[in-house]
Structure 1
Amino acid sequence: MKQPISITAISSISPLGSDLESTWEAYLNGQHYLTKKRFGDQHEWVSTIQQEDIQKIEEIRNADPKYRSLDKTVLYALFAARKAVADAGWTINDDFGINIGSSRGATELFETYHKEFLAQGKSSTLSSPTTTLGNISSWLAHDLKTHGPEISHSITCSTGLHGVLNGVAWLQSGMTHKFLVGGSEAPLTPFTISQMKALKVYSRRGLQKEVDFPCLALEMEKKENTMVLGEGASVACMEIGEKENALAQIVGVGYATEPLKHNISVSTDALCFQRSMKMALGDFSPDEVDVVVMHAPGTIKGDSSEIKAVEKVFCNKLPTLTTNKWKVGHTFGTSGSLSMELAILMLQKQQVISVPFVEAKNLPATINKVMVNAVGFGGNAVSLLLSRT
């Protein structure tokens, strides 16, 4: 890092709410936000945005005729981006860059148009433009009236944090002075759920017999995979240097990809995470990290390999470990951005949000630095080191 990057605003729409205070209150209550939803003739666990926020999304959709044909991934990102930009005090003259990604993109629209094609043998006029991944950043640039660079990308579940990496690179190159980054995901569709079930990673807990927590993310004694999908968007405003209105600073970034032995494999001790965390630490001592917000998807191998990677990097002085997937589900490309939001809230509030069914260890007296991890299919890990301002 040539110089720190200030995060001057962060905004999200998720199962926890659509503003930072309600999101923080939801983190404090110790309850999960996973619900059962019927897909065909079966119920599955999912995590949806709240009913009042669904109405807010519909208001955006109906406010402009052009927006009525857009997928939820675009609308979620529009909602979060408008609030973040306003909170940061950015104006249309800023010409800030945009990099919003999505693992799956316009899943709902794509499935709708595909069904239409199978039934009628032809596609609707808007089927191609409205299901293009580049839709997200392009529509945000249109809506926010910025003329800066716009990038959309998909790097599976680390998409949101890869957006942060891109923003850091642009800012430190001097090619722009502000960047809006994040992820948006709306994967709660029959085909997407079916894909996760085919991988045998989806949670069956509590579908037949009541349980306290359907997703056991970070629980090392579980005997079954317990991943649950969630939806939402999370974006952050980034500016070069130290800013008075910064919520936190990015003081380290790391990334790595490990050789694949299988399409969904990560090595037993997550070599990709070891490399990304060491890169993010840079010249900082591992002892300076107070909390690690884990990727921890709730699968046996995914959780255990990341834990082993943390143990390799931090050795005898482990920081406090936490995750939010037991509470909001796995939001694919948004997940890293929501983890970054949790990290910023803990830095701001000076309180660790623990996993209720996992013993909290090594709780810090003060929270000064938090590491955030994300990884996706392909072993493409990203780690960020955030610092209190």
Structure 2
Amino acid sequence: MTNPSDSLVVIRGRGRVSALGRVLPASAEAAVSPFTHHPSGVPVAALPPAAETAVAELRRHPSYRQLDRTVLLALLAARQATAQAGWSVSGELSVDSCQLSVVNGQDGSISIEQAATATDDSGAMLNSEGASNYDGATPPTSLLTATNHQPITNNQQPATNLAVSIGSSRGATGRLEQFHQEFLAEGSVSAAASPLTTLGNVASWVAFDAGQHGGAALSHSSTCSSAFQALGNALAWLKAGMATRFLAGGTEAPLTDFTLAQMRAIGIYSPLAATDWPCRPGAGRPSTFVLGEGAAVFALEQLSAAQVAAEVRPLLVLAGVGFGFEAIGSKTGLSPEGRHFQQAIRQALAQAGLAPTDIDAVVLHSPGTPAGDAAERSALRAIFGLELPPLLSNKWLLGHTLGASAALSLDFACQVLETQQWPAAPFATDLATSTNKPIRRMLVNAAGFGGNAASVVVELRV
């Protein structure tokens, strides 16, 4: 077993899906707003057509047909992460009378071919008497026990001792709203209603899709810091030797009428048009909160000092995770000085063994709400002093994706570390447009209703 004292947890692969699709902006400028107009009358950051096609492709799989969109977005991100990591966790899979060929392209694209098989209306496989053996919600046993994977080729490695940890704020809210409408109309719901709407099925389906057998499948919900709660748990498990590899991240599909109505009721939703960059972190008043959807998942692996020394490519290291909480009794749980942010940042820095001066840039939580933006900056000044590191954000591109937002922010930080550039916001804000020194270590913040906050330090080792 790797000695935790001389080991590092590295990010082997990353996957994402968002309003920008399945890629990150590579240029230093974003020219066209990715936001669209929702039928409810507000701007949103929804998936573009190419990403919608990938979601539809997933639904061709009979086992995935009834799953909530939140789960499907997590599957897309997880497949891309495992493909980039070179983990042999998918491939030709013999499933009873159903033969599936799942191919991950280099860009994370997905192709699924399926032979004909007898199914019921939900897509479940039927037994010899025509009765369904599958409840449409939990991973079918025949799929979980299948072992006919393709041989490992090139740089693929078996995903031995793989565990999964996924965060989501609202979980399967789309299916929950559908089942509730069904209940109001008919006075009853289908048997699949409960298992399809539990938060736990997010991680379990990611684990199933990855071919993980026997490891942990953990789901977390701590509002908008959910992804970092999931990531922190994965880091602790890896450091404790309870797993050697983890798929960890966050997912959210909140663009439903009910969830949008909740955000509008709080009085924070942006009044700006979809074409006018409606989410504006650090721009002051008015509040410019905009909901988005998406997911980001990371393939994490613990390496010994010797393994790190043998690496020939730069490594993204998950150096520290910290958490904070403040109980002040407000509906958002946020003090003007951002005490929970301060706690989380200090803990993440301490775990990474770094001083504030070691941080080269910060990816803010900054949702575009005046109070939230100001509190986070107050917390940063309490730790860094009046002269702050460059402040970055991706919410003006992706909206606020709730439980997925922290993971997408970390993915953005990794992109900045690798490319040393980021898009400049096309509106007046305190966000940085560039820096005159190399960026090697970044702090990423997240916070949510209820007074919780989380921070991550990620480092590029060359």
TM-score normalised by structure 2 residue count: 0.78
Question: 2:246, 2:405 → 1: CA distance?
Answer: 19
> Which secondary structure does the structure 1 equivalent of 2:448 belong to?
coil
What is the number of residues matched between the two proteins?
377
Give distance in 2, aligned partners of 1:297 and 1:45. 15
Q: Which residue of 1 aligns with 2:302?
A: 240
Structure 1 residue 65, shift from structure 2 partner: 1.3
Deviation, structure 1 residue 46: 0.5
Of Structure 1 and Structure 2, which has the larger fraction of its residues in helix? 1
For residues 437 and 27 of structure 2, what CA distance do their matches in structure 1 show? 23
Aligned position for 1:384? 456
CA gap of 1:189–1:230, structure 2 versus 1, over 3 A, is same
Task: Give CA deviations for 1:290-346 in whole Å, capped at 9, x if unaligned.
Answer: 110000011010101001111111004310001111111000000000000110000
Deviations 1:106-158 (A, max 9, x none): 11111111111100111012111111111111111111111221101111000
Distance 1:342 1:247 in 2: 16
Aligned twin of 2:176: 110
Contact 2:44 2:399 in 1 (8 A): yes
Task: Tell me which stretches of 4 or more aligned residues in structure 1 moved more than 6 Å.
Answer: none
Aligned to 2:328: 260
- Match of residue 16, structure 2, among 9, 12, 19: 12
Distance 1:30 1:284, change over 3 A: farther
Aligned to 2:285: 223
- CA deviation map 1:167-222 (0-9, x unaligned): 10000001111111001100000000000011111111238xxx732122121xx3
Higher deviation after alignment, 274-283 or 68-77 = 274-283
5+ residue gaps in structure 1?
none
Equivalent position SS for 1:176: coil
Shift of 1:354: 3.8
- 1:145 maps to 211
More deviation, 135-144/166-175: 135-144
Q: Match for 2:257: what amino acid?
A: P
CA distance in 2, matches of 1:26, 1:163: 30
Tell me the secondary structure at the aligned position of residue 218 of structure 1. coil
| Residue aligning to 2:354 | 284
Q: Secondary structure at 2:300's aligned position in 1?
A: strand
| Amino acid in the other structure paired with 1:57 | V
Q: Percent identity?
A: 40
Deviation at 1:352, TM superposition (A): 4.0
CA offset digits 1:337-383 (Å, max 9, x no partner): 00001100000001244433225378242111110000111121111
Q: How does 1:59-138 map to 2 (within 5 A)?
A: 59-62=57-60, 64-92=61-89, 93=158, 94-138=160-204
Q: Partner residue of 2:241?
A: 174
Shift of 1:17: 1.4
Is the contact made by 2:26 and 2:422 (CA closer than 8 Å) also made in structure 1? no
Matched with 1:372 is 444
* Counterpart for residue 116 of structure 2: none
Q: Structure 1 residues 4 and 127, CA, compared in 2 at 3 Å: closer, same or farther?
A: same
299-308 vs 354-363, which deviates more?
354-363
Match of residue 48 from structure 2? 50
Counterpart Cα distance in 1 of 2:53 and 2:447: 32
Distance apart, 1:246 and its partner CA: 5.8
Alpha-carbon spacing, 1:244–1:135, altered in 2? closer, same or farther (3 Å):
farther
Q: Contact 1:230–1:331 at 8 Å: present in 2 too?
A: yes
Residue 8 of structure 1 contacts residue 246 of structure 1 at CA under 8 Å; is this kept in 2?
no
Distance 1:263 1:213, change over 3 A: same
Q: Select which of 227, 236, 258 maps to 1:160.
A: 227
| SS across alignment from 1:311 | helix
Partner-residue secondary structure (3-state), 2:235: helix
Asked if 2 retains the 8 angstrom alpha-carbon contact of 1:12 and 1:233, the reply is yes
1:26 Cα offset (Å): 6.9
- The answer as to whether partners of 1:156 and 1:333 remain within 8 angstroms in 2 is yes
d(CA) in 1 for partners of 2:170, 2:314: 31
Distance 1:376 1:352 in 2: 25
**Residue 277 of structure 2 corresponds to residue 213 of structure 1:** yes
Q: Does the CA contact (< 8 Å) of 1:134 and 1:152 recur in 2?
A: yes
* Distance (Å, rounded) in 2 between the aligned partners of 1:245 and 1:334: 28
**Superposed CA RMSD:** 1.8
- Which residue type is aligned with residue 411 of structure 2? E
8 Å Cα contact 1:16-1:26 kept in structure 2: no
In 2, Cα distance between the equivalents of 1:27 and 1:180? 30
Residues of 1 paired with 2:25 and 2:423: CA distance? Answer: 9
Shift of 1:247: 4.5
TM-score using structure 1 length:
0.93
CA contact (8 A) 1:218 1:323 kept: no
The offset of 1:28, in angstroms, is 3.5
Q: 1:274 to 1:163 in 2, by over 3 A?
A: same
Native 8 Å contact 2:424 2:433 kept in 1: no
> 2:380 aligned with 1:310, yes or no?
yes
| Distance change (3 Å), C-alpha of 1:160 and 1:123 | same
**Does the 8 Å CA contact 2:27/2:422 hold for their aligned counterparts?**
no
CA distance in 1, matches of 2:66, 2:375: 41
